[in-house]
Amino acid sequence: MRFLRFWTARRILKLVGFVAVAWIGVLIFGHYYTAPPPAQPVPFSHYVHVTTKKLNCFFCHSNAMRSDHAGLPAVEKCYLCHKVIASKFTPIAKVVGYYNRKEPIPWKRVYVVPDFVHFSHQAHLAKRFDCGECHGNVAQMDRVGLAQKIDMNWCVTCHWRNKGPDGCVTCHY
């Protein structure tokens, strides 16, 4: 009985109003929400490697040109440079440790496409799309995080804007 007295008409209206405002906020601003970048096992600065060292995306993500998946670099790729460059620097010493133990660096993925979606980096690169269209200005990021929320609405809007195929089987098969 006490519980029922708590739920007065005024409180119910406040609750409904709050839920409505929250839902509208999700609809309007939810597309722009991005999660904070995950902490990686080795702090890796795309800013340093791309802007300062002038490495191309495909130096580390070489699979993107020939595969659906861009892939993450093997520890051997990192060690190629860092057996000489800054090898005593604590974060780089971690890379050397992974290499010496013959262990892959357990990078945490930032972009994950659901299992029911097929996405091909190779197909998008063949159409001359810049990596930054989806991943943002990675060259200015120390830690890479989601540049925007990648969801069906975002992808379909891009396909419409660029006159790409928009049938269900384009991505779902």
pLDDT in tens, 64-98: 888 888 888 899 999 998 988 887 888 899 999 99
What tokens does 42 get? Answer: 């080795």
CB 60 within 8 A of CB 144: no
pLDDT recorded at residue 27: 55
Mean pLDDT along residues 28-32: 51
Rounded to whole angstroms, the Cα distance separating 125 from 128 reads 5
Amino acid present at 1? M
CA 21 vs CA 25, 32, 149: distances in Å = 6, 17, 21
Percent of the chain with pLDDT over 90: 47
Q: What is the pLDDT of residues 93-124, one digit of tens each?
A: 999 999 999 999 999 988 888 889 999 999 99
Confidence of residue 4 (pLDDT cuts 50, 70, 90): low
Mean pLDDT, the chain, integer: 84
**Of 63, 43, 45, which Cα lies nearest the Cα of 53?**
45
Tell me how many degrees the CA angle 38-39-42 measures, rounded to the nearest 5: 130
